[in-house]
Amino acid sequence: MHKRPRVLGGTGRTPLHRVGRMLLLITLGLALTAIPARGQPDPASTDEISDATLTAAVRQRLANDYGVLAGEIDVSTTSGIVTLAGAVDHILARQRAVELTGTLRGVRGVIDRLRVEPVSRTDEEIRTDVEVALRLNPAVSFDDLEVEVQSAVVTLRGELESLAMQQAAARAVYGVRGVRDLIDRTSLEAIAPRSDAELRDEIQQRLRADARVRADRITVAVRDRNVTLRGVVGCPAERQAAARAAAVLGVRQIDADSLVADWERCQLLRADLQERIVELGDREIAEAVRLALELDPRVDPVGIQVEVSDHVATLTGSVATMGAAEAAEEDARHTTGVWSVRSHLLVRPESVPPDGRLEAEIHAALQRNPYVAADSISVVVNSGRTYLFGAVDNAFTEAEILRVVGEVPGVIVVSNNLTLGRDARQKSDRQLRHDVRNEIWWTPMVDADEVIVEVRDGIVTLLGDVDSATERREAAAATRRAGARVVINRLKINGEIVLPG
């Protein structure tokens, strides 16, 4: 008889983060031999997953994620709609809690009632850090912005060229320690205004090229540069991906609330992805990657060359920052038809600050970030080559440090010498296998019956045959969410071996 993976139930309030982790390690377990990620029903609708089960699954996922620290989050579910309430330490944690909830199997929508209770800082300290973060962000034109802060609430005014740039500015503000909220009063004035018909055509093209979206189920309406998306999506995560794809140059606003999550459609999306790939040739895939790069304000596509062969996208050329290189790889990975990405991009900054100044800017960037205890990190710079030393509590914080440092202008390469401290105890192979299988089952874009999980000495190997590159990547992402530090992804796509990126 099939059984759903066990989740920790209780009162409806997420347990304290550390206690929840200890309970999970004590109570859950599986056989040590390698077995498929099976044993759970494959629900075609939310009818097979009760609201109580969803509530427990959300609570468990949030409690196990270091990016949320969910001790003060209340979770409730009605007809598959999950409501999050309570307090978090910063806006990034709030966004991550909503995102993690929206990517659980069976969740039809997320109501965000979380409040942000940040660390106490003066408005002047916050304003200074926000201005520096915006000035150093290559995706934002800071000269066109004004920053005001009152009671830890940031207000932005000015003109920006695109909705994507507006979103990049908001992300920069959210990443500053002490910010409670953002009031965005910027206006969008494209350099060359475009007609509604042009915008609609480009949005439809972007939706077709995005591997996370089934474009034929979505209709696009544009009026006075305001976009409305209607139709059916498989899950809230697909709705978010569609909204991001619609943020092309010239769009003022996007309304995606009319995209309804239907879990039967999620199954169709998985099957449809492979059909779309078969219809695409290497040249078409390469053009879609180039378009994605052109629309991303984090990337200057002029110096990037794209080649595609047998579903492998190769990026060559140069970019200004390590963050731009990672953004380009991300854009390529999310393009329909791309199975893996090989990046040979070189980081060539316009100028490299003196070592002492660059060290200070890296320290300041870490200090601004609400996730990082910057005082525990030592930084040494030699002509743009950056060496990091120190101890961090967990792999999430380690990844956040690497991301922040890589986005500092002038950093060419990062040597990671960080060590994981006492809070990063390695799970047993048995526990890790159980957690991986459980996380894969709850991931809507993955058919758990297609994935075999092996664990040896903390290294997770994924075997089996999936339907698309998106499903393959989502399986690997679920494995890392479960706590795996090393993942060997040997999943085939419709019987074909995927060349490593």
pLDDT > 70 fraction of the chain, expressed in percent and rounded: 85
Assess if residue 328 is contained within a domain: no
CB distance 396 to 365 below 8 Å: no
Question: 3-class SS at 13?
Answer: strand
Distance between CA atoms of 35 and 45, rounded to whole angstroms? 26
Residues 130 and 170 in one domain: yes
Residue 62 confidence (pLDDT): 93
3-state SS record for 269-316? HHHHHHHHHHCCCHHHHHHHHHHHHHHCCCCCHHHEEEEEECCEEEEE
Band (501; pLDDT cuts 50, 70, 90): low
Domain assignment present for residue 131? The answer is yes
> Two tokens at 222?
């544009």
Count of beta carbons in the 10 Å neighbourhood of residue 205: 16
Domain boundary among 138, 157, 179: 179
The pLDDT assigned to 157 comes to: 95
Cα Rg of the chain (Å, integer):
22
End-to-end CA distance of the chain: 40
User: Both tokens of residue 464?
Assistant: 């089996």
> Residue 208 CA to chain centroid, in angstroms?
20
- For the record, the structure tokens of 156 come out as 């932005």
Q: How does the average pLDDT of the chain come out, rounded?
A: 85
| Residue 77: half-sphere exposure toward Cβ, Cα within 13 Å | 23
Residues 74 and 161 in one domain: no
- Residues of the domain holding 457: 17-116+427-493
Is the pTM higher than 0.75? The answer reads: yes
Residue 219: what pLDDT? 95
Compute the average pLDDT of residues 388-401. 90
| pLDDT value of residue 180 | 97
Which range has the worst mean pLDDT, 18-22, 39-43, 111-115? 18-22
pLDDT of residue 220: 96
Residue 236 pLDDT: 82
**Is residue 458 in some structural domain?**
yes
Q: Give the integer Cα–Cα distance in Å for 128 and 92.
A: 19
What integer pLDDT is reported at residue 246 of this predicted model? Answer: 92
The confidence score (pLDDT) of residue 234 equals: 79
Q: Does residue 127 share a domain with residue 107? A: no
Q: At what angle do helices 163-174 and 91-102 cross, to 10 degrees?
A: 120
Same domain? 407 vs 434: no
DSSP 365-412: HHHH-TT--GGGEEEEEETTEEEEEEEESSHHHHHHHHHHHHTSTT--
pLDDT tens, 115-141? Answer: 999 999 999 999 999 999 999 888 888
- What is the model's pLDDT at position 465? 94
Residues 394 and 435 in one domain: no
Asked whether residue 22 falls in the same domain as residue 99, the answer is yes
Coil, helix or strand for 37?
coil
Q: Which tens digit of pLDDT belongs to each residue from 157-181? A: 998 888 888 999 999 999 999 999 9
CA–CA distance, 390 with 417 (Å, rounded to integer): 7
Are 39 and 111 in a shared domain? yes
Least confidently predicted of 65-74, 359-368, 400-409 = 65-74
**How sure is the predictor about 238, in pLDDT bands with cuts at 50, 70 and 90?**
confident
Residues 6+ apart with CB under 8 A from 495: 465
Angle between helices 322-333 and 395-406 (to 10 degrees): 110
Question: What confidence tier does 17 reach under pLDDT thresholds 50, 70, 90?
Answer: very low
Tally of domains within the chain: 3
Q: Decide: helix, strand or coil at residue 210.
A: strand
Residue 350 is predicted with a pLDDT of 87
- Let me know whether 372 and 449 are in one domain: no
From the number of C-beta atoms within 10 Å of its C-beta (0-12, 13-18, 19+), residue 470 rates as buried
Residue 57 lies in a domain: yes
DSSP state of 31: -
- In this prediction, residue 237 carries a pLDDT of 81
Reported as a single tens digit per residue, the pLDDT across 343-394 is: 999 999 988 899 999 999 999 999 999 998 777 899 999 999 999 999 888 8
pLDDT tens figures, 322-346: 999 999 999 999 998 899 999 999 9
In a domain, 294, yes or no: no
Last residue of a domain, one of 383, 411, 439: 411
Q: Which helix (H) or strand (E) holds 444?
A: none
Supply the pLDDT for residue 270.
Answer: 53
Residue finishing a domain among 179, 202, 219: 179
Residues 75 and 166 in one domain: no
Evaluate whether residue 3 is within a structural domain.
no
Alpha-carbon distance of 34 to 19, in angstroms, equals 29
Instruction: Judge if 72 and 147 occupy the same domain.
Output: no
* Domain contains 313: no
Q: How confident is the model at residue 44 (pLDDT cuts 50, 70, 90)?
A: very low
Determine, yes or no, domain membership for 85.
yes
> Is residue 488 a contact partner of residue 355, using CB atoms and an 8 Å limit?
no
Model pLDDT, residue 194: 83
Q: So what's the pLDDT on residue 27?
A: 34
- Does 436 score more than 90 pLDDT? yes
Which helix (H) or strand (E) segment is 188 a member of? strand 181-188
Residue 99 in tokens:
């995102």
Same domain, 22 and 72: yes
Same domain, 112 and 127: no
H or E element in which residue 236 lies? helix 236-245
